[in-house]
Structure 1
Amino acid sequence: MPRDSDRPANFHSGELTAQIRAGQTVEAECLGPVVKPFLAEGGRSLIDSARIAVATTIGPNGAPMLSLLAVDAGAFGALGSSGLTIPRAAVSSEDALFDNLRRDRRIGLVYLDPYTRRRFRVNGEVVDSRTDPLEVSILEAFPNCKKYLVRQQLTSSKQVCPKAATRGRSITRADAALLCQASLVFVGTANPQGQLDAATRSGDPGFIREVARNTFEIPDFAGNAMYQTIGNLLLEPRASIGFVAGDEFVVLTGSSTTHWEDEAERSGGNGRFWRFTPRSWRRVPLPMPVELSGYDRSRHTPVLD
């Protein structure tokens, strides 16, 4: 979200537009109060035990950019109910996160336990990008439904030789194929006048498909009716998609278009999807040797043709 104080439940104009278009203003009003300007106990317990999170920051061209964070259990922390700590070692030395935060202190975070499928999102600002650990002042904190998330195991893997990040403009055919076979991706979006957001999208392998060369379609399954991701995309079409590929985090940054009439009926019945065209890519080594494995689909996941 952020937030204009006179907006219902403090939703911004993009979220309100999406809620009205979807006919879910009542549902959004009911759920809006779960978004708190502080960290409740349930969120603290997940963050304390989490080993991975994904952050959205603003890159040098003004577009959202994703970073994967990984730690040993207990290394993420909370500063009472108003703040969070992130050790600098949670971020790959090849990642752009710290450079981005020097220019723009806003950050969106999603913490994930892949096995229990619990998620928790925090939007806020870094107090000082030079400290270790980073301190994040919380502006919004809220749990996420685990309805469609695939269950996976997060395990330590063998230490690999350090490698440099690589980058390019056009997505490779190999990474296009990996994206279309992913069962879990992360999405970074921004409200130009407010908070950043990091979210997840999950489904059966193939739920993301390439509908034209370098254009990918992502269904927007029915969710919490608050429309943080779609609402941001309506205001700022630039976005970032990330996924784990072996010992690297693949980050695609590009532009999106939002659609409300799914003639192919691949959106799980609600008609919504968005299309994403990558303009640049980065492959960043994971900050520590971990591996996501296994595939236990959610029984709620729509079966797509």
Structure 2
Amino acid sequence: MSFHSGEIAVQTQAGVREEAQRLCNVITSTIKPSAQEFLHTQQLAIASTVDSKSRIWASLLTGKPGFVEVLNTQTIQINATPIQTDPLHHNLQTNNDIGLLVIDLENRKRLRFNGKAEVNQENIKVQIQQVFFNCPKYIQTRYIKKYVADSLENPEAFTRDTLIDTDQLWITQADTFFIASYHPESGADASHRGGFPGFVQVLNSNKLVFPDYSGNNMFQTFGNLIVNPNAGLLFIDFAQGHTLQLTGIAQVIWDADRLNEFAGAQRLVEFDIEQVLEIRNACSISWQFGEYSPVNP
């Protein structure tokens, strides 16, 4: 596998181009046995999709263990029905690019896919183009407390153009969020971000800023963002099962003076919000907090 021009540009500016190239062989187009074994027990995934206005959305998918099923070495099937008010299903009707992050919070493991989706009412089939494991950095441990698929209250959706006070409090208390990005040729990508509460700052009702810490040096997300600044963020209320989805424009910041405002930051992202979607009772799983990642700055 090779990197696209945006990824190469960020790797070069970060001074890790050679290291990134050596890591390139971890990205494959087939699902290896270790990935199949991992998927067999997983219950949480984040999907990245593009809507008809070219906005990017990060969506939550959950199910029983193994709901992301391996059909063959290049095809997976997601056996989960998205909430009707979530844009995921509708987005895939007009653009079949999908990025998928399957994450095990308890064991700090994560597996990333991207490919082409075929969607119906019962499931989503994905023809894999790229698949690779990520490192465990910045993942806070959480344990599944209960799975209540049959007794979940009806989801309620609220759409707005700006953050209200409760949104802002949610974001500033978060230790985890997910980011979706998209490259018009290389496809969609979903990734994880974590830190101590407060690592995401609300600048005003339409703008956030958050740090980027030392990672795997491949820069799939940032490479996408400098080519296409459209992005989506997802915050999950792990205890209550609510979600907060933001879509907007991301700007990568390298300014050294601004980096000093965030411990451990190597870059920043300013995120201008275009739309907010809050879904209450979005998730049938409740998680209990375990401990913070030992590498959080």
What range is the shorter-chain TM-score in?
over 0.9
Distance 1:133 1:25, change over 3 A: same
Alignment counterpart, residue 243 of structure 2, candidates 243, 249, 255: 249
2:28 aligned with 1:33: no
Aligned residue identity for 2:125:
E
* CA distance 1:275–1:283, change in 2 (3 Å): same
Which residue is equivalent to 1:4? none
Cα separation, 2, equivalents of 1:102 and 1:88: 16
Following TM superposition, by how much is the alpha carbon of 1:16 offset from its aligned partner in structure 2, in angstroms? 0.5
Q: Give 1:6's aligned residue.
A: none
CA contact (8 A) 1:93 1:287 kept: no
Q: What's the offset of the Cα at 1:142?
A: 0.4
1:140 and 2:130 aligned: yes
2:7 to 11, 15, 25: 15
| 5+ residue gaps, structure 2 | none
1:202-234 Cα distance to aligned partner (Å, 9 max, x none): 011111112345321111101011001111110
Structure 1 residue 121: deviation in Å? 0.3
Q: Is the 8 A contact 2:210 2:269 kept in 1?
A: yes
**Displacement of 1:251:** 0.3
Worse overlay, 182-191 or 75-84: 75-84
- 2:114 alignment partner in structure 1: 123
For the 8 Å contact 1:101–1:129, the answer to whether it is kept is: yes
Q: Determine whether 1:277 maps to 2:272.
A: yes
**Aligned 8 A contact 1:94 1:285 in 2:** no
Q: Distance in 1 between matches of 2:152 and 2:33?
A: 37
DSSP 3-state at the match of 2:119: coil
In the TM superposition, residue 278 of structure 1 has moved relative to its aligned partner by 1.1
User: In the alignment, is the contact (CA less than 8 A) between 1:107 and 1:195 conserved in 2?
Assistant: yes
Equivalent pairs: percent with the same residue? 26
Q: Is the 8 A contact 1:204 1:301 kept in 2?
A: yes
In the other structure, the counterpart of 2:65 is: 73
Separation of aligned partners in 1, 2:233 and 2:121: 27
Letter of the structure 1 residue corresponding to residue 140 of structure 2: V
Root-mean-square deviation (CA, aligned residues, Å) is: 1.7
Distance 2:264 2:282 in 1: 38
* 1:92–1:285 contact (8 Å) kept in structure 2: no
Aligned partner of 2:105 in structure 1 is 114
Distance 1:288 1:218, change over 3 A: closer
Question: TM-score scaled to structure 2, two decimals?
Answer: 0.93
- Name the SS for the 2:28 alignment partner: coil
Q: Equivalent residue of 2:236, what SS?
A: strand
- In the alignment, does 2:176 pair up with 1:181? no
Question: Is 2:289 aligned against 1:299?
Answer: no
Q: Output aligned runs, 1:200-239, within 5 Å.
A: 200-239=192-231
1:105 aligns with 2:96: yes
**Partner amino acid for 2:142?**
Q
Preserved CA contact (<8 Å) 1:208 1:218: yes
- 1:293 CA drift (Å): 2.3
Q: How many Å apart are 1:41 and its aligned residue?
A: 1.6
On the 8 A contact 1:180/1:207 being kept in 2, the answer is: yes
In the alignment, what sits opposite 2:140? Answer: 150
**Following the alignment from structure 2 to structure 1, what is the Cα–Cα distance between the partners of residues 157 and 231?**
20
Alignment deviations for residues 66-118 of structure 1 (CA, whole Å, 9 cap, x no partner): 110000112220012111001143x2233221111110111000001110010
User: Whole-Å Cα distance in 2 between the matches of residues 225 and 18 of structure 1?
Assistant: 9
